[in-house]
Amino acid sequence: MAIYDSTDDTSVSGPTVTTVNALTTSAPLEASSMTLDEFCYLLANKKINTAMLGGFHYSQTKAGKNKATETEFNSAFIAFSSKPV
């Protein structure tokens, strides 16, 4: 990847080009965990029914699940929202 220097260069040779190597990791990336409040905030921004969101938050808090990955919370929310009333 090349990054061009946008400073004023009065020489005729043109802008300076610097090459940057991409960062590589040998270990696989782990899914980052988030709090229940953060996940519910994300759902609230997606215009999820607030009563359902409140019920989900309560059920997860009561179960002691205050921190998990987004995928785990999403699976739990899908299971919660498909329960019969």
Residues 27, 20: contact at Cβ < 8 Å? no
What is the full per-residue pLDDT of the chain (85 aa) written as tens digits? 445 445 555 555 555 554 444 444 444 445 689 999 999 999 999 988 889 999 999 999 999 999 999 999 999 999 999 988 7
What is the pLDDT, as a whole number, of residue 32?
84
Residue 15: phi and psi, rounded to 5, are: -70, 155
Q: In the chain, where are the structural domains located?
A: 31-85
Helix (H), strand (E), coil (C) string for 42-73 = HHHHCCCCHHHHHHHHHHHHHCCCCEEEHHHH
pLDDT at 5: 47
Q: Which helix (H) or strand (E) holds 82?
A: none
Identify which of 46, 34, 29 has the alpha carbon closest to the alpha carbon of residue 72.
34
